[in-house]
Amino acid sequence: MTDGLRAAVASGRLRTGARLPATRLLAGELGVSRGVVVDAYQRLIDEGLAAARTGAGTTIIARPRVRDSASDRRRSLDTLRLPLPPADGIDFDLSPGVPDLSAFPRTAWLRAERAVLDGITAADLGYGDPGGAPWLRAELAGWLARTRGVRAEPDDVIVVGGVAQALALLARTLHAAGRSRVAVEDPGSRGARDQLAHWGVRPEPVPVDAEGLVVGELTQDAAVLTPAHQYPTGVVLSPARRRALLAWATSGDRLIVEDDYDAEHRYDRAPVAALQGSGPDEVAYAGSVSKSLAPGMRLGWLIAPRRLQAELLTAKHDSDLGNPALPQLVLARLLATGDYERHLRTVRGRQRRRRDALIEGLRRHLPDASVTGVAAGLHLMVTVSSDISDISLAERAAGHGVLVHPLSWHRHRPGPPGLILGYAAHPPDRLTEAAKRLGEALSRPGQLSRPGR
Amino acid sequence: MTDGLRAAVASGRLRTGARLPATRLLAGELGVSRGVVVDAYQRLIDEGLAAARTGAGTTIIARPRVRDSASDRRRSLDTLRLPLPPADGIDFDLSPGVPDLSAFPRTAWLRAERAVLDGITAADLGYGDPGGAPWLRAELAGWLARTRGVRAEPDDVIVVGGVAQALALLARTLHAAGRSRVAVEDPGSRGARDQLAHWGVRPEPVPVDAEGLVVGELTQDAAVLTPAHQYPTGVVLSPARRRALLAWATSGDRLIVEDDYDAEHRYDRAPVAALQGSGPDEVAYAGSVSKSLAPGMRLGWLIAPRRLQAELLTAKHDSDLGNPALPQLVLARLLATGDYERHLRTVRGRQRRRRDALIEGLRRHLPDASVTGVAAGLHLMVTVSSDISDISLAERAAGHGVLVHPLSWHRHRPGPPGLILGYAAHPPDRLTEAAKRLGEALSRPGQLSRPGR
């Protein structure tokens, strides 16, 4: 029933602001006990989607954020305790995980699509290979080899509907094999955790420290992680940990799932190569164009150890027969012409300037804060020495019009406070201003409402 | 293991012509008993994917056809007994279920995509509603109301990756509710049957007669059918059966799944309205652009009774977060501008001329045959009074260079013989020639090889 209500909210059938029916009434209407309805409402409240006020019943206050493997934007009232101010009080939305959607390469995309449609054959538009268009699989194998050190033949690549679908397919395969205990990072993506749980595997949080996932604590059948730029802390998995992780996998026929969620956004140094290149028989590598083009593309890839590929292809086939053909061919062409690489270069330069503006602003306005996780990605992490929880700090920031994620939202177990700041969607001068506001918010502990409002 | 081999063949890793390793060798390599490998090979042979010859081992002879809910193109050697001649002996492929892919409206599609990209907002490209782009849902609700009598608000429409995904989502929902017995049509689509079985529900064949599905034989929790133009016989569900079916559903909280697979292709009379319009609380309506644009689009819709929608949305979300945004917006625009309707009108005229040419050719060259299922669709059915099985007739046709489907391929239980002829992909003069060849093939029972070859 909670799922039903949640989906009703997600679909907009229950809109923000809608009052839920009195529990007694709904229980009567559905022919269930009142306790069932009360529990369902409470779960919505726990998830931050609804709020109950004495005398006013239960009201929908937010739509569930669509979850992505490495960009969990959902908020929990049970950890947050107070709802954030409504969005119209927010001047700067620094939620992580959202690329600069205004940078979508419309001209190049359209040019490639015209060329694809000019040359397309009937076979291209028919029922295709469930693993994807051969051209795209070949281009991706080459591209990922060059840029990420991935070792794959074209046939090893399965084209999927984003990393979320890659996780769904892997979870089903693990579950079917009775290998249902899967380690996830803590802090980490709640989206990935929920995705795995939906398909019957048990996600078990394993701590992340300054070297990345604490490999010594792994006892599971598989581990899902973001080694090149941990989500959300930005930590890079250390060389010692990489070696330990691969040894862990080979010593017990365990699977490493590498979510390379922002592989395209590295700034200062050469990127760490993908783990998959060091262990193609141990690592299932997943990536997508969600951060390089747009999440709405729902286009990604999964390169799994060969022993798993047949089952994964069957699962993909029985889910949807395969990804849509046209966007696959357009991406293949963008890769082949170099337009994709050119686009990434442009965006990377822009993101670096944005990151630098935010770092500089924080240095000026929050001089005591420590900023980490800056080598790559679309967000960074700020830690301040404070007795106050990061949730309270985020509330203060919101009171000053800046929406940031407290690290606690992404944690399973308690840990040191932190704030996650996404910078991809804002030009430098706006980020400078956001840093100034943050400085005002966090350096005046007593002040919870925004000046002048 | 069979699944694994099948997927390896599907993906092209095991190519047509490839010799499978000796059973003893493979068993040793995989650490399984030889019987397991023998069984797996036998299943591939049963499915028509491999052939065993004494002294030559087992060889891959075909790739599995991708299955669609209403266009099963798979062939079984266990019913066919003899493999069809290789494709280069086939001059006319009259397999049903394939639209005229050369008619894809490239210009209109590209024009619409340009307009969409010009007006697109960041929100359109972000993580969207798992149920689909609001614009497309609204256009589809209006279009299906006008053309098919479907009763739906925009929020009732879930955008899916084709009817195959609609069936997958419904099967999961039925299975989760413990309603796992699902009636399917016999003859009917093997693709739909396999799709349902994969997701844990039990497809049970129920006979189709001259009035369509024999509703009196239904004992299941749900029924999947093609009421407007039965696949593959072309029968239209009679008014009495429609009423009986709806009464069956309401009397026991049962679900009707209406696969409206070729709703766009009706020729002589006004189309029968969708069942859904008469029973929106009993019918889950599914359709796609596979037959109107191309199967490779993987774009369809599911309109389910409201009590099921929340669960279906959750299932869609946890499968892939939703369909890709751009193609949804392009289709919405094609619907809004009338370009989609114009395209259908053009194609419909062309298909009618093709159908007429085939009917006329059959009348001339197979004067004793009876031709049915012609009011709609992309294929028709031919029955001849013959002592010979339709599989043998199809073999003879193949020997004369014409690939047709024997009705037996689509049957679960034995029944009267029939041949299914798809005409969408061939111009009239080619169809006339194909009919002539068929006449030669079927009127000379002794002759199994093609004259002059």
**Residue pLDDT, tens place only, B283-341:** 999 999 999 999 999 999 999 999 999 999 999 999 999 999 999 999 999 999 999 99
Q: How far is A41 from chain B (nearest CA, A)?
A: 15
Determine the Cα–Cα distance for residues A321 and B261; give it in Å rounded to an integer: 16
Nearest CA in chain B to A10: B129
Is A241 within a domain? yes
**Residues A157 and A286 placed together within one structural domain of the fold:** yes
- Domains held by chain A: number: 3
Determine the Cα–Cα distance for residues B169 and B146; give it in Å rounded to an integer: 26
Q: B352-373 pLDDT, tens per residue?
A: 999 999 999 999 999 999 999 8
**Residues A145 and A233 placed together within one structural domain of the fold:** yes
Is A195 within a domain? yes
Higher pLDDT, A117 or B450: A117
**Residues A276 and A133 placed together within one structural domain of the fold:** yes
Higher pLDDT, A92 or B375: A92
Residue A349, amino acid = G
Average per-residue pLDDT for chain B: 85
Determine the Cα–Cα distance for residues A438 and A97; give it in Å rounded to an integer: 20
For residue A47, give the CATH number of its domain. Answer: 1.10.10.10
Is B164 within a domain? yes
Is A72 a residue whose pLDDT tops 60? no
Is B449 within a domain? no
Query: What is the reported pLDDT for A63?
Result: 57
Could you give the angle at which helices B2-10 and A306-320 cross, rounded to 10 degrees? 80
Binned at pLDDT 50, 70 and 90, residue A443 comes out as: confident
Domain boundary among A280, A308, A338: A338
Q: Do A113 and B118 touch (CB under 8 A)?
A: no
Could you give the percent of chain A with pLDDT greater than 70? Answer: 83
For residue A246, give the CATH number of its domain. Answer: 3.40.640.10
What's the rounded mean pLDDT across residues A30-39? 71
Q: How far is B169 from chain A (nearest CA, A)?
A: 8
- Are B291 and B261 spatial neighbours (Cβ–Cβ below 8 Å)? yes
Query: What is the reported pLDDT for B37?
Result: 76
What's the rounded mean pLDDT across residues A135-143? 96
Sheet holding A181-186, edge to edge: A157-160, A300-303, A283-288, A255-259, A222-225, A181-186, A202-209, A212-213
Q: Among partner residues A71, A198, A297, which is closest to B318 by beta-carbon distance?
A: A198
Could you give the percent of chain A with pLDDT greater than 90? Answer: 63
Determine the Cα–Cα distance for residues A263 and B183; give it in Å rounded to an integer: 47
For residue B353, give the CATH number of its domain. Answer: 3.90.1150.10
Is A88 a residue whose pLDDT tops 70? no
**Residues A52 and A78 placed together within one structural domain of the fold:** no
Query: What is the reported pLDDT for B17?
Result: 57
Q: A6-24 pLDDT, tens per residue?
A: 656 655 556 555 667 777 7
Q: Do A294 and B325 touch (CB under 8 A)?
A: yes
Q: How far is A368 from chain B (nearest CA, A)?
A: 35
Residues of chain B neighbouring A291 (CB-CB closer than 8 A)? none
**What does pTM read for this prediction?**
0.81
Determine the Cα–Cα distance for residues A206 and A185; give it in Å rounded to an integer: 5
- What stretches of A283-402 show up as alpha helix (H) in DSSP? 306-320, 325-337, 339-365, 390-399
Which has the closest alpha carbon to A260: A295, A287, A230? A287
**Residues B305 and B415 placed together within one structural domain of the fold:** no
Is A310 a residue whose pLDDT tops 70? yes
Residues of chain B neighbouring A160 (CB-CB closer than 8 A)? 320
**Residues B269 and B317 placed together within one structural domain of the fold:** yes
Q: Do B114 and A109 touch (CB under 8 A)?
A: no
Q: B120-158 pLDDT, tens per residue?
A: 888 899 888 999 999 999 999 999 999 999 999 999 999
Residues of chain A neighbouring B196 (CB-CB closer than 8 A)? none
Residues of chain B neighbouring A98 (CB-CB closer than 8 A)? 126
- What stretches of B74-189 show up as alpha helix (H) in DSSP? 77-80, 106-119, 122-125, 134-148, 163-176
Higher pLDDT, B36 or A236: A236
Max avg pLDDT among A25-34, A348-357, A367-376, B369-378 = A348-357
Is A286 a residue whose pLDDT tops 50? yes
**Residues A110 and A207 placed together within one structural domain of the fold:** yes
Residues of chain A neighbouring B74 (CB-CB closer than 8 A)? none
Determine the Cα–Cα distance for residues A148 and A204; give it in Å rounded to an integer: 28
Q: Among partner residues A164, A168, A324, which is closest to B297 by beta-carbon distance?
A: A324
CA geometry: angle at B69 spanning B378 and B407, to 5°? Answer: 60
Q: Among partner residues B6, B134, B155, which is closest to A13 by beta-carbon distance?
A: B155
Question: What does A164-191 look like in DSSP terms, one character per residue?
Answer: HHHHHHHHHHHHHTT--EEEEEES--HH
ipTM exceeding cut-off 0.85 for this assembly: no
- Are B165 and B322 spatial neighbours (Cβ–Cβ below 8 Å)? no
What's the rounded mean pLDDT across residues B186-206? 92
Is A447 within a domain? no
- Are A182 and A69 spatial neighbours (Cβ–Cβ below 8 Å)? no
- What stretches of A69-224 show up as alpha helix (H) in DSSP? 77-80, 106-119, 122-125, 134-148, 162-176, 190-198
Q: What are the structure tokens assigned to B202, written together? A: 């039990």
Q: Among partner residues B101, B298, B321, which is closest to A68 by beta-carbon distance?
A: B321
Is B448 within a domain? no
Query: What is the reported pLDDT for A85?
Result: 42
Is B151 within a domain? yes
Is A446 a residue whose pLDDT tops 80? no
Q: Do A66 and B155 touch (CB under 8 A)?
A: no
Q: A186-202 pLDDT, tens per residue?
A: 999 988 898 899 898 99
**Residues B182 and B129 placed together within one structural domain of the fold:** yes
Domain boundary among A315, A338, A361: A338
Query: What is the reported pLDDT for B313?
Result: 96
Binned at pLDDT 50, 70 and 90, residue B77 comes out as: very low
Binned at pLDDT 50, 70 and 90, residue B80 comes out as: very low
**Residues A122 and A263 placed together within one structural domain of the fold:** yes
Query: What is the reported pLDDT for A17?
Result: 57
Is A49 a residue whose pLDDT tops 80? no
Q: In this structure, what DSSP letter does residue A293 have?
A: T
Q: Among partner residues B7, B162, B323, which is closest to A298 by beta-carbon distance?
A: B323
Determine the Cα–Cα distance for residues A89 and A92; give it in Å rounded to an integer: 9
**Residues A369 and A388 placed together within one structural domain of the fold:** yes
Query: What is the reported pLDDT for B84?
Result: 41
Can you give the residue range of the structural domain that contains A24?
2-60
Is A330 a residue whose pLDDT tops 60? yes
**Residues A83 and A23 placed together within one structural domain of the fold:** no
Is B453 within a domain? no
Is A427 a residue whose pLDDT tops 50? yes
Determine the Cα–Cα distance for residues A419 and A405; give it in Å rounded to an integer: 6
Nearest CA in chain A to B157: A11
Q: Do B120 and A104 touch (CB under 8 A)?
A: yes
Q: Do B68 and A127 touch (CB under 8 A)?
A: yes
**Residues A156 and A265 placed together within one structural domain of the fold:** yes
**Mutating which of A326, A334, A347, A426 best tests the B interface, going by the most B Cβ atoms within 10 A?**
A326
SS3 of A302, please? Answer: strand
